[in-house]
Amino acid sequence: MDARRSSPASAAADRPFVIARAFDAPRDLVFRVWTQPEHLQQWFSPKGFTVLAAKMGLRPGGIYHYGMRTPDGKDIWGRWVIREIVAPERIVFINSFSDERGGLTRHPFSENWPLEMLSTITFAEQGKRTTVTIAWAPHNATASERKTFDDGRASMQQGWGGTLDQLAGYLGRAVKGAKS
């Protein structure tokens, strides 16, 4: 069997990781802060990281390339290759780690993490609130990479939870500033 194909035993690893959060902000604003680098660099990183650079080509086939510095001074790069944009409802992209030039690289802390992740971000408007749902799944991954992904669900919950906390703070400041 092809190492990249699913088997019944790997069904759990083929389930996407999903996390959702509601924000007290209009959907158009939430969509903008996900699609404009000047906003993304203010909140899109793990807690304690700082963003070094961010460049966005917001179109199918375009790339969002960004660099972050860890609290201990290590530089990490990532990229999104955008597949679909339905403003202000959805963004779909392949997410991966990269080098400073945008080339594909392995996870800096987990050699067996999937090289590519399919990310689907949806924005659902509910009155003056917006629910963001992130679905994250290995893309073109080996069975071993899918297992690493499945075993990492608690860590993903913590990491995405912290990133969404930062988004909530950023949106809170943006909404408050808009009312002033």
pLDDT in tens, the chain (180 residues): 344 444 444 455 579 999 999 999 999 999 999 999 999 999 998 888 899 999 999 999 999 999 999 999 999 999 999 999 999 999 999 999 999 999 999 999 899 999 999 999 999 999 999 999 999 999 999 999 999 999 999 999 999 999 999 999 999 998 876 664
Q: Give CA–CA dist 45/54, Å, rounded.
A: 12
Total domains in the fold of the chain: 1
CATH of the domain at 129: 3.30.530.20
The whole-number pLDDT of residue 3 equals: 46
Closest CA to 166 of 80, 45, 67, 1: 45
Decide if 4 is inside a domain: no
Alpha helices in 4-142 (DSSP H): 11-14, 27-35, 37-43
The whole-number pLDDT of residue 47 equals: 84
What sign for the dihedral angle of Cα 27, 138, 69, 85?
Answer: negative
Decide if 3 is inside a domain: no
The whole domain housing 77 covers: 12-179
Decide if 5 is inside a domain: no
Where does 24-176 show beta strands of DSSP type E? Answer: 50-56, 63-69, 75-86, 90-98, 104-105, 116-126, 129-139
Decide if 6 is inside a domain: no
Decide if 119 is inside a domain: yes
The whole-number pLDDT of residue 109 equals: 87
The whole-number pLDDT of residue 1 equals: 39
Decide if 87 is inside a domain: yes
What sign for the dihedral angle of Cα 7, 8, 10, 13?
Answer: positive
Decide if 67 is inside a domain: yes
Collapsed DSSP state (helix, strand, coil) of residue 72: coil
Decide if 59 is inside a domain: yes
